[in-house]
Structure 1
Amino acid sequence: MPGRRGSPPYSGHHRGCVPSAPACRVWDPQSRPDQEPPRPSPLLCRDMALQNALYTGDLARLLELFPPHSTADLLLESRAAEPRWSSHQRGLWSLTYEEELTTPLHVAASRGHADVVQLLLRRRAKPDSAPGGRTALHEACAAGHTACVHALLVAGADPDIPDQDGKHPLHLCQGVGTLECAELLLRFGAKVDGRSEEEEETPLHVAARLGHVELADLLLRRGADPDARDAEGWTPLLAACDTRCTPATDPEATAARCLQLCRLLLSAGADPDAADQDRRRPLHLACLRGYGAIVELLLSCGVSVNAMDYGGHTALHCALQGPPLALAQSPEHAVRALLNHGAVRIWPGALPKVLERWCTSPRTIEVLMNTYSVMKLPEEAAGLVPPEILQKHHRFYSSLFALVRQPRSLQHLSRCVLRAHLEACLPHALPRLPLPPRLLRYLQLDFEDVLY
């Protein structure tokens, strides 16, 4: 990654390169015979032919520009990707492209030109040079260029050196070659639980947050701690449960990766009920994201279904406060799982707010209403649902509003009584009852898309 200008340009001789002032000291082998000659400082190079050859990976041209006994220990000027506000005079600010410094080795490594990387290393490029805070190894790992990573490590690059943000190369592994890059770093001595300086994240935290199942599996097999905590008390399992869907991602694929990660971490011994500094647990986060399958997985591990975070929210509250994107995850499954594991029902006075927020998910409304013996909605509740939603789910909402302040069916009342009787052991007792499958599903709040 290029860095700000600040490192001094260096003296020497190369086509298109500018020596610094004052000039470097000249080493006199007679004056200090017991010491190594001082290493010449890198040159600030503005040769556009050289830069074009680096960016395009033109090895033939670079062999001409870097003949034997020349040096590739150079600095290149580049511009920041985006303009930044800067002040050249007091009170006068302007948007300018800030000049930055990088090296030929950084350019080649970030673009995957492995043969160029090897040439530059042979021409005395420093593998751990970091004029902008990142080394060429950081750049190669961030782009997933395995061959470049291997060449740099063989040349002596430090596999655990932090960048300007305190992240190690293992934190940055991305792209097609993620696994291969991580395996190389570990083989050359990178710490599997090395922490970033500010966030105190381990590489396993990063893999879990990004939904990278294969990388997490590799790190766990190499001894990564599944319960390591970062600066905010998050474990990798918390990070996995908080993976967000975006409009640009496939919600089903994201949910499937998160489920795989959670299973992997739990099988490695991760605490399913570990809370962060705000007392949020994996169950809270999975509910907030609407990941019903993960909710069921965590509940099967015996987590505390009614535990509260510092804000006083239970997992059920989180499930009903999720973002609109959680609708793609069918939140009704998470809500039903919580209620079947003894979650305390929400205050009836909050039901109109839930109806207004989740009216496009009638099954979420259904499963909530089927835990009450009386439909506790105001008569004007029908006005909370937009007309187009009423029309789309006409059968369900007709049955819902017909029951406002009306008695429920005897069958439903019997269900409520039996569930209340088994409340303390509901998730374990219901499956053991000698009941027909259809009746058992009814007691477990199976969806019917209508209310009685």
Structure 2
Amino acid sequence: MSELFSMSPGSFVFSSKALRSLQLDEDKLERHDYKRRMASHHLLSYALKKESRERTPLRAKVAPRPYVCRDVVLQNALYTGNLEAMQRLFPRGSSAGLIIEPQGGEMRWVARGEGLWSLTYEQELTTPLHITAGRGFTECLKLLLQRGASVDLAPGGITALHESCVRCEPECTRLLLVHGADANAVSDDGHMPLHLCSNPESFECAKHLLQHGAAINARTADEDDTPLHVAARNGLTDHVELYLRYGAAADKKNHEGLTPLNAACSQPQELQDLQRYLGLCRILMKAGADIRTMDQDRRTPLHMACKNANADLVELLLANGASVNEMDYGGEAPMHNILKVLKHCSQSPRTIEVLLNAYSQLKVTDTWVESVPPEVFEEHREFYESVFSLARTPRSLQHLSRCKLRVFLEGRLDKVVPRLDLPTIINNYLLLDYKGYIH
């Protein structure tokens, strides 16, 4: 096997001119390679959060020092998933404990001492497991695991399990876990594999991780995010439901003071994503997420939903008792985003009516009129005429009485009003039932 991993001129992809231009000083190259081998021999030792330590204690594994391989023939077999070639290159009894130093990549200038710089290829160390797991080469991955490849080796700062989750390869994720991969391994930048399940295609990877002991409330090192934060921010409804079933905490805050609900509401949303985020927030609220939690800038989910002009989400938060009078550190209430709501949600008079009726007084200006497209104004003429007439008319005494009662019951409104046995028309009025006009 040692002959297999030596660099042969016949298999190297560079021209002789390129090789000469990238020739390094022999002593420095040996020291450079030695440092790389030593760095790759040590697994990362980030301390996990308390829950992670309790559920999945760190395992000390002793493995032989892996070889550094630069052979292009072997690399080509790995990167193309050539199982037949790999069976020849890794016969029974051979070791798959290798670190790959890929050839090629991005070019960069590197200081070589004495004021000299050399243009060379930027290379990131990896392993055969990383290459095959990240590309979904399941059969090749099986072969490497049968040949004893170390599942938790992380020469480039992440394990093969991180790689399979990033690339959304569920079968490779399952194989690595079955062969002992640490579901709570921490990458160089402080992420566990579950934190990297950040798009819909990673759902099955997340399931496998949780089934093999992934810590559901583990935090990232940089933002202090839980997996639920990641799922909520990315609008991953299925992930959110899965994590809640596994005991994810709905109200944990990250470094910015954001809960998963705050994170979902604050995420900029494209038009096609609005309903998905609405459903996700509804799930979080049903699980007990507090709609009045403020981030470090004292912004509530309502502030954020108004800023993102998610009409249905604004209505949902208001219907569940969100406070319209909370001021952030900039002295702004959700109402300060009303012009943006008018502009982007003008097709939804219902949402605008609910938001406007949550305030006792409004300062309607010409800018409001300009925010509503003419065709939308014509379609909902009666409603918008009632809104714009408030520029010259105070709110009705009936409305002011409603606002006073709503302020008194703030935070309890949706629970108390239905139990008062009021006439239906009054009950609906207090709960801001849609009328189609403002008075």
- Note the C-alpha offset of 1:81: 6.5
CA distance in 2, matches of 1:430, 1:420: 19
Change in Cα spacing, 1:321 to 1:82, as seen in structure 2 (3 Å) is: farther
- Note the C-alpha offset of 1:327: 2.2
Q: In the alignment, does 2:262 pair up with 1:243? A: no
Which position in structure 1 is the counterpart of 2:24?
none
- Note the C-alpha offset of 1:370: 3.1
- Note the C-alpha offset of 1:296: 1.3
CA distance in 1, matches of 2:322, 2:152: 46
Q: Using CA pairs below 8 Å that are at least 6 residues apart, which structure has the higher relative contact order? A: 2
Deviations 1:183-223 (A, max 9, x none): 21111111111111111100000000010001100000110
Q: Percent identity?
A: 40
- Note the C-alpha offset of 1:175: 5.3
Correspondence list, 1:343-358, <5 A: 343-348=359-364, 351-356=365-370
CA distance in 2, matches of 1:43, 1:266: 52
Which position in structure 1 is the counterpart of 2:329?
310
- Note the C-alpha offset of 1:138: 0.3
CA distance in 2, matches of 1:366, 1:218: 45
CA distance in 1, matches of 2:171, 2:283: 29
- Note the C-alpha offset of 1:93: 8.1
Q: In the alignment, does 2:247 pair up with 1:256? A: no
- Residue type matched to 2:438 in 1? L
Decide which of 89, 96, 103 is 2:127's aligned counterpart: 103
- Note the C-alpha offset of 1:352: 3.8
Deviations 1:362-399 (A, max 9, x none): 559986763465646xxxxxxxxxxxxxxxxxxxxxxx
Q: Secondary structure at the match of 1:64?
A: helix
Report the more deviating stretch, 42-51 or 182-191.
42-51
Deviations 1:209-263 (A, max 9, x none): 01000110000011000001111110000111123234xxxx13x1111111111
TM-score calculated relative to the size of structure 2: 0.74
Which position in structure 2 is the counterpart of 1:280?
299
Decide which of 212, 218, 226 is 1:202's aligned counterpart: 226
CA distance in 2, matches of 1:212, 1:432: 39
Assess if the C-alpha contact under 8 Å between 2:360 and 2:403 holds in 1: no
CA distance in 2, matches of 1:84, 1:271: 49
- Residue type matched to 1:224 in 2? A
Decide which of 30, 36, 43 is 2:67's aligned counterpart: 43
Which position in structure 1 is the counterpart of 2:6?
17
- Note the C-alpha offset of 1:61: 0.8
Which position in structure 1 is the counterpart of 2:11?
none
- Residue type matched to 2:249 in 1? D
Deviations 1:10-42 (A, max 9, x none): xx8141336995899xxxxxxxxxxxxx95422
Q: In the alignment, does 2:189 pair up with 1:189? A: no
Q: Secondary structure at the match of 1:78?
A: coil
Aligned residue-pair number: 373
Change in Cα spacing, 1:358 to 1:96, as seen in structure 2 (3 Å) is: farther
Report the more deviating stretch, 220-229 or 365-374.
365-374
Correspondence list, 1:103-142, <5 A: 103-142=127-166
CA distance in 2, matches of 1:327, 1:357: 9
Change in Cα spacing, 1:16 to 1:224, as seen in structure 2 (3 Å) is: same
- Note the C-alpha offset of 1:136: 0.3
CA distance in 2, matches of 1:355, 1:441: 21
CA distance in 1, matches of 2:427, 2:222: 56
Assess if the C-alpha contact under 8 Å between 2:350 and 2:436 holds in 1: no
Change in Cα spacing, 1:240 to 1:441, as seen in structure 2 (3 Å) is: closer
Correspondence list, 1:408-423, <5 A: 416=396, 418-423=398-403
Decide which of 336, 344, 349 is 1:327's aligned counterpart: 344
Change in Cα spacing, 1:194 to 1:421, as seen in structure 2 (3 Å) is: closer
Q: Secondary structure at the match of 1:101?
A: coil
Which position in structure 2 is the counterpart of 1:292?
311
Q: Secondary structure at the match of 1:75?
A: strand
Assess if the C-alpha contact under 8 Å between 1:18 and 1:43 holds in 2: no
Change in Cα spacing, 1:366 to 1:234, as seen in structure 2 (3 Å) is: farther
CA distance in 2, matches of 1:61, 1:42: 21
- Note the C-alpha offset of 1:424: 2.4
Change in Cα spacing, 1:290 to 1:431, as seen in structure 2 (3 Å) is: farther
TM-score calculated relative to the size of structure 1: 0.72
- Residue type matched to 1:207 in 2? A
Deviations 1:419-452 (A, max 9, x none): 34543247979962499xxxx8556439xxxxxx
CA distance in 2, matches of 1:138, 1:205: 18
Change in Cα spacing, 1:176 to 1:211, as seen in structure 2 (3 Å) is: closer
Which position in structure 1 is the counterpart of 2:22?
none
Deviations 1:80-106 (A, max 9, x none): 966567555788889865222111110
CA distance in 1, matches of 2:396, 2:209: 58
Assess if the C-alpha contact under 8 Å between 1:291 and 1:329 holds in 2: no
Q: Secondary structure at the match of 1:320?
A: helix
Assess if the C-alpha contact under 8 Å between 1:332 and 1:367 holds in 2: yes
Deviations 1:315-344 (A, max 9, x none): 12124246x9x727847554322112x225
Which position in structure 1 is the counterpart of 2:53?
none
